[in-house]
Structure 1
Amino acid sequence: MGQSRLVLLAIGTVAKGSRTMEVQYRYTHMEQSGVTGTSGLMITPSVTVPQKWPTSAASRQGGLIPGAQSWSVLKAQAAPGFLHTLTFDKGQGAKPDDTVFAVYQPSLRLQPTVGRTMTGELSGKPYFLAPRWDAVSYISPAPAVPSSATGSRCRSAPKPGAKERLAAQHIKDAYAKPKTTKPVNNAKDLPGRTADRPLTRLYHDAQRRKDNRSQAIKTCKKYWGSNYASGDKECDEFPFATTYQGAAQALEQYDPTRRRRTTSRPGPPPRPTTEQAAG
């Protein structure tokens, strides 16, 4: 009897102006102890794109996803791994910025050596990658840079003393300890944490950005007074005022469910917004 382990890394990058994400895979920490029989252990990677927005956008995959390879074959390679690509051609994204979101999910499956049994994780999915492409003149003048890309999923843990540490901590609290943020709402459940509820960048509606900020400031004054910003302080808000999920989305002019209620028979009072965390 023995033990073994391996780690699969999937590192996604997008070149400036490209609509292709290159994902470099690396097998690391291939370690074993005792009698394992791992030489014949078969390792099979795979990739899916389970979600995309808009759903009509067509993707192309390239590079190489190898079939099953044995532990011994991978171990003998100088840099075990492979390269895979995902491409969304321009012109099929959401208007007005040709925006495309996607979820890129790697996975791995293990098949024990013949005659041996294994316990533990025989399959697994690393963190998914969440690329987003758009073509916006207010970030990169077109057509010099016809496309920009970013990752929609991130984790931030700045070092002590970093200037962004408090903002990062606030976002963490908004997700992990929403009851500690304002306004008080025990049912608070903020978007932006899962792929099916992403944050969406707001640019073209300047009035809505102003309304987002105005509603956040109103909350800050309610809990910390009109001089909340004295002493060079700032009332932080999340989701950001530059997103459609900002603090104003519960206002009647931006919430279609509330607009419907005002034109139909009386119904239950609107539930408090769950989409703001001020601190």
Structure 2
Amino acid sequence: MNVSSLTIPGRCLVMGIVNVTEDSFSDGGKYIDVDNAIAHAKQLVAAGADMIDVGGESTRPGAVRVDASVERDRVVPVIKALHDAGIHTSVDTMRASVADAAAKAGVSMINDVSGGLADPDMFSVMADSKIPVCLMHWRTVQFGDAAGQADHGGDVVADVHAVLDDLVNRATKAGVAEDQIVLDPGLGFAKSREDNWRLLQALPEFISGPFPILVGASRKRFLAGVRKERGLDVTPIDADPATAAVTAVSAHMGAWGVRVHDVPVSRDAVDVAALWRSGGTYNG
């Protein structure tokens, strides 16, 4: 199975987020119950999601890691139920054991925000699974009070290019096929406000490269800051309009996919971009 089997002809893929966690930054606890998580995932698909990204461990700043068994027990039943319903899923995990269990449950993609670096067995599990993988840039994979911004050597774009190239080399040496790889610049992960906007400005550079690009800007702090700079009080959900704007522009530029919380608005944004690019002939 390669990335083309998940690619949506004519438009950007919409990946809906389901956090089966207690402490995610925007919806922690809402879907910790497996049945609620499955129901929410199906609602997202009905609203236009092409794939559901299932996570059982928060990676927000200051998050505390959960046991591998807890993470596995959170995500595997959701993935299996959605797979049985014919719904594509990705598993948002940095643990090889969780990725392996998810693959056996029918997951369609392994989405590792550490780019495979947090667990020494991850690349081999990715290779053995023979399914698409998403490798994300995160310069400092840290938790708790140590989480924060990283040193990108004065040029965040060059740093992200270099790290992603290294991750691809590590993955392919382990046996992951190039046509199974998606890359994510890692917006919001140990990056300053300026870093994030610079990466978005440079998005065409990444999209023009050899690998499909996933954009994960949804409800990130720097987007909530769009309203905050106008003197408004904001919550992560208040970043949804700005997220939709990023979705539309990313889709118009040719991003492979967007990872979002608010699926209906982002699906509209993706469809608008597809119609814009096609001159109104897109029929998806």
TM-score tier by shorter-chain length is under 0.3
Larger Rg, first or second structure (1 or 2): 1
| Structure (1 or 2) with the greater strand fraction | 1
- Normalized per residue, the structure richer in helix is 2
Structure with the larger RCO, 1 or 2 (CA within 8 Å, 6+ apart): 2
TM-score normalised according to structure 1 size: 0.23
Task: Provide the TM-score with structure 2 as the length reference.
Answer: 0.23
